[in-house]
Amino acid sequence: MQTTTGAGQEQRGHVLLIAGDTAIRRRAVQVEPSANLAALSMVPVPVLLASNVPADTTYLDGVKDQQALLMKLRSAAATPGPLLVYLSGRLTLARRDHQLYLALTHTTASTIRYTALPWEWLGTELRHRPAGLTTVLVDLAADKHAWPHLQEPGALATPPAAEVYGVITPPGYAGSNGVSTYTRAFVEQLRLTPARPTNARLHAQTVGSVALPPGALVLPHIPEINAPQTEPQHPRTNLLLLADDQQQEEPGEAMPGLAPAPGSSFLFQSSPPQPTALGPCPMPQSPVPPAPRPGRHDVDQQRQRTEPAAPVGAPHPVPVAASTPTAQHVPAVQQPVAAPQTDPRPYIHALAEQHRYPEAMQLAQLWEQHALTTYGVTSPQATQWTEIRADLAKMQGNWVLATHLWIAACRTRLAHQSPDAPQVIAAVKSAHYCWTQIGDPRQARGCGPELISLLRTLPTLDHRHLNVARQRLEILHNC
């Protein structure tokens, strides 16, 4: 990219590399900023900037003066050409003003506001930059004070005129010796790629080539930069559409939620057929309540509370029985039927696609109770409806419920399937993924032991799942 002024004079670019304080947790180095700057210094400046314009480079390693750093940042922001700002070190939070800071050398908890770089200053100095000429690259580790704050929406405000890429690792995670994982992979991608890719693609390739710590924040999220997704928004909605014996696990799938490979069976590739105004939803006919049995009291009571004796509202009429001319007089108690007349899953899927999750979840729960009563607690039919409810919870963003449901479904499958069955492996992978999305440390700690116990019972599963889960649970206990 050649950038020139209106008079034809070539503009200059700038590379500003800032090394903050070393991030250390329990004597383990998480991020070594000096090593990261040394690695980046080996990359030619035109490659870093993705531009051939003349450029200046400023290395700030071991800086102690907050105001001196501000002047360097302000000078770099005044550059008319392309600008790259690289930040590495420890991200902390001032308890008094609850603002994020990049800790500098000799920054302490009591001197943060006077000896560290406020994250807000970065946005202030770069906000007047021309669009498309500014890139901010970060390789940071958050301490135990900053990490909970980062879980709040909008906590890490980024300059609107700048592209911001990088990672922020959680506290308590021991990093690699020397150059950080992300920075090393970033440099390696620049070295291996013949033609310099765009910043977005370079970042996506970097993130995809390394094993980041569990729960690490990626800036921006991969879907925001149009990179290949590892977990689509509705990753296993085929459970809503396919029968249990039609589900196929791709042999090469490393994690749940990958896009279907060629030849994989998805009943609806784009959007499911939707009846007019969603049409009538097939409802399970109310079976005769069975006599209470040991261990089933809670299930029976829940079924009696949730299963209606009449249609659930106008949009979901009960289907007309073969011997009944109209649906106006439906008996309060009917004999159980062997199978529903119409598959309700396309209808439930349509509700979920319209974000009508409470209605979709209620219908799925009714059909689950019908399957429990008709076929048994450990039946494949009941297990499938548990997985459908787990999918709905995942689509709604209720990660805690989704994790519990996937764990329950996996344990039920283990009662009549081998530990290496594709459906068992897919269920436990989904449970693990949902658990990693739980942002609240207390809730995640509550689900962690149960998940790890389940992972231990699957010897054929990739051992990395168990290792990563153990590491994340340890990090959560240290938060």
At 175 the pLDDT is 66
Question: Could you tell me the pLDDT band of residue 288, with boundaries at 50, 70 and 90?
Answer: very low
What is the average per-residue pLDDT within 58-75? 91
Q: What is the dihedral of CA 291, 292, 296, 302, to 10 degrees?
A: 90
Mean pLDDT, the chain, whole residue set: 74
DSSP of 335-383, one letter per residue? ---SS-SS--HHHHHHHHHTT-HHHHHHHHHHHHHHHHHHH-TT-HHHH
Q: CB 394: neighbour CB atoms within 10 A?
A: 26
At 125 the pLDDT is 93
When mean pLDDT is compared over 225-239, 311-325, 385-399, the highest value belongs to 385-399
| Residues found in the chain | 479
Mean pLDDT is lowest, of 188-192, 338-342, 407-411, for 338-342
| Residue 317 reports pLDDT greater than 60 | no
| Residue 291 reports pLDDT greater than 90 | no
At 87 the pLDDT is 95
CA distance 371 to 336: 10
107: Cα within 13 Å, side-chain hemisphere: 29
Q: What is the value of pTM for the model shown?
A: 0.49
Q: CB 449: neighbour CB atoms within 10 A?
A: 11
Question: Could you tell me the pLDDT band of residue 416, with boundaries at 50, 70 and 90?
Answer: confident
At 479 the pLDDT is 62
Question: Could you give phi then psi for residue 265, rounded to 5 degrees?
Answer: -95, 100
CA distance 55 to 70: 20
pLDDT tens-digit map of 68-98: 999 999 999 999 999 999 999 999 999 888 8
State the DSSP code for 318: P
Residue whose C-alpha is closest to residue 369's, from 284, 263, 247, 431: 284
Work out whether the CA dihedral 159, 160, 162, 164 comes out positive or negative: positive
Reduced to 3 states (helix: H, G, I; strand: E, B; else coil), residue 19 is: strand
User: Angle at the Cα of 313 (from 309 to 316), degrees rounded to 5?
Assistant: 90
Question: Could you tell me the pLDDT band of residue 316, with boundaries at 50, 70 and 90?
Answer: very low
At 140 the pLDDT is 93
pLDDT tens-digit map of 176-187: 667 888 999 899
Q: CB 43: neighbour CB atoms within 10 A?
A: 14
| Residue 311 reports pLDDT greater than 70 | no
* 318 against 41, higher pLDDT: 41
Mean pLDDT is lowest, of 6-10, 29-33, 141-145, 383-387, for 6-10
CA distance 312 to 389: 18
| Residue 31 reports pLDDT greater than 90 | no
At 135 the pLDDT is 94
Q: Which helix (H) or strand (E) holds 204?
A: helix 199-208
Q: Give me the percent of the chain exceeding a pLDDT of 90.
A: 22
Reduced to 3 states (helix: H, G, I; strand: E, B; else coil), residue 292 is: coil
| Residue 306 reports pLDDT greater than 70 | no
| Residue 9 reports pLDDT greater than 80 | no
Question: Could you give phi then psi for residue 337, rounded to 5 degrees?
Answer: -105, 155
Question: Could you tell me the pLDDT band of residue 330, with boundaries at 50, 70 and 90?
Answer: very low
At 69 the pLDDT is 92
Q: Give me the percent of the chain exceeding a pLDDT of 70.
A: 71
What is the average per-residue pLDDT within 99-125? 90
At 279 the pLDDT is 53
What is the average per-residue pLDDT within 428-435? 90
Question: Could you give phi then psi for residue 84, rounded to 5 degrees?
Answer: -120, 125
| Residue 42 reports pLDDT greater than 60 | yes
Q: CB 263: neighbour CB atoms within 10 A?
A: 7
Residue whose C-alpha is closest to residue 141's, from 110, 102, 177, 86: 102
At 176 the pLDDT is 67
What is the average per-residue pLDDT within 282-303? 46
| Residue 154 reports pLDDT greater than 80 | no
Is 307 within 8 Å of 287 (Cβ atoms)? no
* 266 against 479, higher pLDDT: 479
